[in-house]
Amino acid sequence: MTHVTIAAVTIFLHRAQAHRALDLHPVISHFFRFWLWLTTGMVTKQWVAIHRKHHAKCETPDDPHSPQVLGIHKVLWEGAELYRSEALNLETLKRYGHGTPDDWLESHLYARYDRLGVMLMLFADLALFGIVGLTVWAIQLLWIPFWAAGVVNGLGHYWGYRNYEPRDASTNLLPIGLIIGGEELHNNHHAFPSSAKLSNRWWEFDIGWLYIRILTILRLARVKKIAPIPQQLPDKQLIDLDTLRAVVLSRLYVMADFGRTVVAPVLREELRKADNSRCRMLKRTKVLLLREAARLDDRDRARLRSVLDMSQALCTVYEFRMSLQSLWNHTTVSHEKLLVSLQDWCVLAEASGIQALQEFAQSLRGYSVRSV
């Protein structure tokens, strides 16, 4: 029963309502609404508004539940209290709660009597299981506050691995996907918020996506968007507007690929040549070489600068990384100027004398837009 609740949260509240990544058949949509009212008492508009505000204000004092701001202990163990506090903020509901269900049932039952459902579930559990039903009911009631409000919102911005480097601190958590429906792939989600599919690597498993595919086959759901898949054409050598669009659209893929194919091999070579003291310093700075610059504090910048000062190769690839990233940060520049900047970047990278950087620049030439 708790797994059905998790499925309702990830499929209905999160992917369908908050991010509009898919449309659900009215029967399925209403079943999820009813089930969430019965097992959690959550109001759709409140949940959606709070989650959208989290994305809009992520890791700032206005974020409703950032462990980077509030501390991991508070978000992990008091996530439900943070949710209830933000749900009372009428400005949040007005600004971020648009497009959620607003029919008779929502206004006269689900939102108006949000605690009635969980009381009905208590009576049902007691009728089915006797006094043990009280324990069953308590587990059902605590499941979402702990796993979703605590673990996903807390640990999902504090501990884990990162496939991509968005401006927030989101991470992927493993191996708890069967318990929280794919929501453990939180870094993937923050990289591509409007994607109905949360898994990106071949070994990642998003059970929520499995359920969506089943609903799609049964014509009970329609996927509207998944994360863009970059296509590289081996014979394409001309850097044109198609290349530019593909690189910008897949920019988080591009930067992740830069980390794997350029930064990592250059760092390995530097480690091979380094003595013990330099080796320890290089290893400690590995994460900083790939981290989004906006997430570096003064101490991180000082450590990173000390490493770049002692390695010309790392300094070169880091500067190329930053200059490539600056392409999509210049939103006011025309496409033609951005295209020239990308062409110049590739020419300079190929003339750098660093093999990994040269091969990466060659691979960028093959990027092309692919419709998903």
Tens digit of pLDDT for each residue in 334-349?
888 899 999 999 999 9
Q: What percent of the chain has pLDDT over 90?
A: 76
Tokens of 51: 């989650």
The pLDDT tens digits of the residues spanning 29-76 come to 999 999 999 999 999 999 999 999 999 999 999 999 999 999 999 999
Residues 6 or more apart in contact with residue 121 via CB below 8 angstroms: 38, 39, 137, 140
262 contacts 357 by C-beta, under 8 angstroms: yes
Looking at residue 371, its pLDDT comes to 47
- Contact at 8 Å (CB) between 117 and 152? no
For residues 99 and 197, what is the distance between their CA atoms, to the nearest angstrom?
A: 21
- pLDDT tens sequence across 219-265: 999 999 999 888 888 888 889 999 999 998 889 999 999 999 999 99
Question: Which residue bears the tokens 């609740």?
Answer: 5
What average pLDDT does range 80-94 have in this prediction? 95
Q: pLDDT tier at 284 (50, 70, 90 boundaries)?
A: confident
Name the phi and psi angles at 42, rounded to 5.
-75, 140
pLDDT tens, 180-207?
999 999 999 999 999 999 999 999 999 9
Listed by start position, the domains of the chain span 2-223, 232-368
Find out whether 120 and 37 touch, Cβ atoms under 8 Å.
no
Residue 289 corresponds to which amino acid? L
Nearest to 166 by CA among 227, 81, 245, 93: 227
* The token pair that represents 220 in the structure block: 């009970």
Tokens coding 230: 């970059």
Query: Average pLDDT over the chain, rounded to whole?
Result: 92
From CA 154, how far away is CA 74, in angstroms rounded? Answer: 8
Q: Which residue has the higher pLDDT, 335 or 177?
A: 335
Cα distance between residue 127 and residue 58, in whole Å: 44
Determine the longest span between alpha carbons in the chain, in angstroms.
76
For the whole model, what pTM was predicted? 0.90
pLDDT of residue 283: 85
Q: Is the pLDDT of residue 372 over 60?
A: no
Secondary structure string (H, E, C) spanning the chain: CHHHHHHHHHHHHHHHHHCCCEEECHHHHHHHHHHHHHHCCCCHHHHHHHHHHHHHCCCCCCCCCCHHHHCHHHHHHHHHHHHHHHHCCHHHHHHHCCCCCCCHHHHHHHCCCCCHHHHHHHHHHHHHHCCHHHHHHHHHHHHHHHHHHHHHHHHHHCCCECCCCCCCCCCECCCCHHHHCCCCEHHHHHHCCCCCCCCCCCCCCCHHHHHHHHHHHCCCEEECCCCCCCEECCCCCCCCHHHHHHHHHCHHHHHHHHHHHHHHHHHHHHHHHCCHHHHHHHHHHHHHHHCCHHHCCHHHHHHHHHHHHHCHHHHHHHHHHHHHHHHHHCCCCCHHHHHHHHHHHHHHHHCCCCHHHHHHHHHHCCEECCCC
pLDDT at 165: 92
Pairing of strands 231-232, 367-368: antiparallel
Interatomic CA distance for residues 44 and 107, integer angstroms = 11
Check if the beta carbon of residue 348 is closer than 8 Å to that of residue 246.
no
Is-contact 191 252, C-beta < 8 A? yes
Cβ-count burial of 369 within 10 angstroms (0-12 exposed, 13-18 middle, 19+ buried)?
A: middle
Distance between CA atoms of 254 and 248, rounded to whole angstroms?
9
